[in-house]
Structure 1
């Protein structure tokens, strides 16, 4: 009996020394405000991993003075120490350099479809029959307010140019492309289109200052 009490007392002391478990809530974002879906939150003490939901939110159980590691494809990892008074954690991940990481982030793996990095508008082939349009010009100007095609270039209203050139950046199936390449796409081959401007296009640096038109084709999935 005496040994049992002693063992229980030792366990209680050990649990106290390790700190009590508590619930921490938080959110993982990119570019300050864009929620990241499926970002991993790993608790150092227990090695348990959690995923953020469709709003970038998470709920974890950890100890006082614990550490959590946050990671998402295409973004730099972050590690945060939990303090005694910590109840809520807001984490803003930064995009890694390199085109491959931009494609990961823009591949809608981590970012909610509804956000599309502050897309002016995004349309998918499930919503529309693109083949009903004669060409890409009709698709763009007919569905994206503020977008115009002038002198063979796409111009998005209310974008600020740092280079003196007003043409929007064009991305086709994850790669930078020319206007002629865009015009050669058959409307029946389009899967989805997104148009971005302002802070949404900041991941493309100065190239995205005039906005970005992103086109994914059905052949690009193969």
Structure 2
């Protein structure tokens, strides 16, 4: 009788252990905006290990309580604790060690392409700047982001990041202000802006089809 009890208890524990696992997915970013490929992600308790793909996306099996470690040769190691309150989809920002040598290594190891790493590094110095010198947000965008077009003609100028790819649908970028998608940014004074950045190509993929024309990300001083 004791033997059957032991076998039943063992089966219960094994079954319980199986149910304690979960699947966590997400995106690896750096400098808040740019997706990072080939980052190694390890789960301490489940033992699973994966790498982020070309869009910075990853999927990994973890225990109900676990610790994920994100590591890459030119980034500071980042750890994220997993528990019952952790969402199934994460956005994990890892800190890039910004030096000319590391920019070359980031391209060499396939973490980011050369255009993105150059673009990302150029924005580091802009994060805490005072933008009051610009007359409006569109002048700010033209002044800060070479290659980005601002076209007038409608009620409000349109920001074109990826060129005129369609003659039928809008080519205007997606606007995200303080984490919320908005239809207009013309009312925002440059003096209210604490940070502004532009996403293009793979770094805009986290917004799905809405980000197909690129994304303008704005953080206002009210959000801090």
User: Normalising by the residue count of structure 1, what TM-score does the alignment of the two structures yield?
Assistant: 0.51
Q: Residue 28 of structure 2 contacts residue 93 of structure 2 at CA under 8 Å; is this kept in 1?
A: no
Aligned partners of 1:194, 1:207: CA distance in 2, in Å? 17
1:76-155 pair list within 5 angstroms: 76=88, 96=89, 105=91, 110-112=93-95, 118=116, 120-121=119-120, 122=123, 124-126=126-128, 128-150=129-151, 151=153, 152-155=157-160
The one of 185, 188, 210 aligned to 2:188: 185
SS of the residue 1:130 aligns to: coil
Residues 1:170 and 2:175 aligned together: yes
User: What is the count of residue pairs matched by the alignment?
Assistant: 148
RMSD of aligned Cα (Å): 4.2
Does the Cα contact within 8 Å between 1:133 and 1:139 map onto a contact in 2? yes
What CA deviation, in whole Å up to 9, does each residue of 1:42-82 have, x standing for no partner? 2348x884633475686xxxxxxxxxx99699875xxxxxx
Distance 1:188 1:51, change over 3 A: same
CA contact (8 A) 1:162 1:206 kept: no
Aligned to 2:43: 41
Q: Which residue of 2 aligns with 1:52?
A: 70
Unaligned runs of 5+ in 2: 1-25, 30-34, 48-64, 99-111
Q: Determine the C-alpha separation between the residues in 1 that align with 2:127 and 2:167.
A: 34
8 Å CA contact 1:201–1:208 kept in 2: the answer is: yes
Matches within 5 A, 1:12-51: 30=28, 34=36, 41-44=43-46, 49=67, 51=69
Query: For 2:188, what is the secondary structure of its paired residue?
Result: coil
Tell me which of 208, 214, 217 is aligned to 2:217: 214
Q: Classify 1:155/1:75 alpha carbon distance in 2 versus 1 (closer, same or farther; 3 Å).
A: farther
Determine if contact 2:66/2:81 at 8 Å carries over to the other structure: no
Relative to structure 1, the CA distance from residue 200 to residue 160 in structure 2 (aligned partners, 3 Å threshold; closer, same or farther) is: farther
Q: Distance in 1 between matches of 2:67 and 2:202?
A: 31
Q: Offset of 1:176 from its aligned partner?
A: 0.5
Q: Distance in 2 between matches of 1:196 and 1:159?
A: 16
What is the TM-score normalised by the length of structure 2? 0.51
Deviation at 1:163, TM superposition (A): 6.9
Counterpart in 2 of 1:198? Answer: 201
- Any idea what SS the aligned residue of 2:93 has? coil
Asked if the contact 2:44–2:68 (Cα under 8 Å) also holds between the matched residues in 1, the reply is yes
Deviations 1:165-217 (A, max 9, x none): 101000000000122xx121121111111101111111111111100000001
